């Protein structure tokens, strides 16, 4: 994959006038993933910030056909669309389900697991802003240890984030990838690749969120990069079980040195109640996972 912005499709699939917040990581990611997927795509999505970005029927800034569904049935609705297209012999249209972490890690896991087990021909995208952000920052099982949310108001969250990549990997998928709007070419390339593969593909987008995480809107790209520099987020692909670092994470795995997680944590208001013990626990969690990935990359 070459690092070259000129290969990015110039067409826009989100017209000016969306209702996402200023500095929203999700809207940047969505812009680039639609450029990669192009017109021959159908989207299905549940209630979420993305649903708000799409707007109220019949007005929307998004030019790709979309079905609105419920949290628990996001992947089931994609299965239905895929089955309908197959019945019509329309095998050249990409079906994409896209949901927040609440609708993926928590409420939608059952229909996603079912579709993945059947290897349904679709792409499932989780944009992970680490909370139920559309309804004002409630805790999800993707919220990191030490973050304060409106449902953890006195003490911050006490548990580590669920490792959803491991869960999806256990379904033996043909393709899984993690990416971030801070690295638009990495994101674009992975979606171009995912579109060409058949079966269930799982894409995880780490999506910084200024109001939910408590940082200035201008810092979205920086926060996303710090997440990678500290190993909180690992850019990677898992293709038919084979793990590969990509982009900046690949460089860090070969010759770089990860930054301590404090460099990432100290820039976000959501971590202001985090204790030193929790910071150490988070660092250990990050290091353990990083070392596991290093071992796998060498296999
Ligand atoms: C059954 C049901 N319960 C609650 C809601 C209210 N609701 C709308 S969006 C949302 C949060 C979804 O969180 P997530 O999936 O993480 O997406 P995000 O808001 O972060 O984009 C909630 C609880 C709803 N629409 N339907
Ligand atoms: S709350 Fe966060 S994820 Fe939702 S639109 Fe605003 S910035 Fe984006």
Q: What is the pLDDT of residues 155-183, one digit of tens each?
A: 999 999 999 999 999 999 999 999 999 99
Residue 57 confidence (pLDDT) above 80: yes
Q: Which protein residue has the closest C-alpha to ligand 2 atom 6?
A: 21
- What is the band of 184 on the pLDDT scale with cuts at 50, 70, 90? very high
Query: Residue holding tokens 């030019």?
Result: 63
Q: Are 120 and 158 in contact (CB under 8 A)?
A: no
Average pLDDT of the residues of the chain: 96
pLDDT value for 151:
97
pLDDT value for 2:
54
Residue 5 confidence (pLDDT) above 90: no
Residue 3 confidence (pLDDT) above 80: no
9 CA from centroid of ligand 1 (Å): 31
52 CA from centroid of ligand 1 (Å): 11
Per-residue DSSP letter, 269? G
Burial class (CB in 10 A: 0-12, 13-18, 19+), 200: buried
286 CA from centroid of ligand 1 (Å): 28
272 CA from centroid of ligand 2 (Å): 20
Residue 1 confidence (pLDDT) above 60: no
CA 1 to chain centre: 20
Give the whole-angstrom CA distance, residue 237 versus residue 173: 11
pLDDT value for 4:
73
Find the ligand nearest to 140 CA: 1
User: CA 155 → CA 137, 160, 162, 245, 263, distances in Å?
Assistant: 15, 14, 19, 35, 22
Burial class (CB in 10 A: 0-12, 13-18, 19+), 242: exposed
Could you say which architecture CATH assigns to the domain 7-298? 3-Layer(aba) Sandwich (3.40)
- What is the band of 133 on the pLDDT scale with cuts at 50, 70, 90? very high
Would you tell me how many other CB atoms lie within 10 Å of the CB of residue 169? Answer: 15
Name the strands in the sheet holding 122-128, side by side, starting at the edge strand that comes first in the sequence.
Answer: 66-68, 41-45, 94-100, 122-128, 200-206, 175-179, 236-239, 242-245
Give the whole-angstrom CA distance, residue 160 versus residue 76: 28
pLDDT value for 77:
98
pLDDT value for 6:
80
239 CA from centroid of ligand 2 (Å): 30
pLDDT value for 186:
96
Task: Give, for ligand 1, the residue of 48, 107, 212 to mutate: max count of ligand atoms closer than 8 Å to Cβ.
Answer: 48
The mean per-residue pLDDT over the stretch 193-209 comes to 98
Which residues approach ligand 1 with their CB closer than 6 A? 47-50, 71, 99-103, 129, 132-135, 140
Find the ligand nearest to 30 CA: 2
- For the entire predicted model, the pTM comes to 0.97
């Amino acid at each position: 994959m070459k690092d070259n912005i000129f290969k990015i499709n110039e067409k826009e699939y989100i017209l000016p006038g969306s209702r996402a917040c200023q500095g929203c990581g999700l809207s940047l990611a969505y812009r680039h993933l639609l450029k990669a997927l192009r017109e021959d795509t159908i989207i299905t999505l549940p209630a979420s910030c993305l649903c708000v970005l799409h707007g109220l029927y019949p007005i929307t800034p998004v030019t790709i056909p979309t079905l609105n569904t419920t949290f628990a049935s996001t992947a089931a609705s994609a299965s239905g669309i895929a089955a309908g297209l197959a019945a019509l012999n329309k095998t050249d249209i990409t079906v994409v389900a896209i949901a927040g972490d609440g609708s993926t890690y928590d409420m939608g896991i059952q229909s996603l697991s079912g579709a993945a087990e059947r290897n349904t021909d679709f792409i499932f995208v989780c944009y992970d802003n680490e909370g139920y952000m559309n309804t004002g920052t409630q805790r999800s099982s993707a919220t990191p240890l030490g973050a304060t949310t409106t449902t953890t108001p006195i003490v911050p969250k006490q548990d580590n984030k669920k490792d959803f990549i491991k869960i999806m990997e256990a379904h033996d998928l043909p393709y899984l990838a993690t990416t971030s709007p801070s690295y638009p070419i990495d994101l674009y390339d992975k979606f171009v690749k995912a579109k060409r593969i058949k079966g269930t593909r799982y894409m995880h987008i780490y999506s910084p969120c200024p109001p939910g995480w408590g940082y200035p809107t201008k810092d979205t790209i920086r926060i996303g990069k710090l997440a990678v520099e500290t190993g909180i987020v690992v850019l990677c692909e898992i293709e038919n079980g084979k793990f590969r670092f990509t982009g900046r994470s690949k460089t860090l795995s070969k010759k770089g040195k990860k930054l301590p997680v404090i460099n990432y944590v100290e820039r976000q208001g959501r971590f202001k109640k985090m204790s030193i013990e929790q910071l150490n626990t988070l660092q250990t969690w990050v290091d353990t996972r990083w070392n596991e990935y290093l071992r796998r990359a060498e296999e």
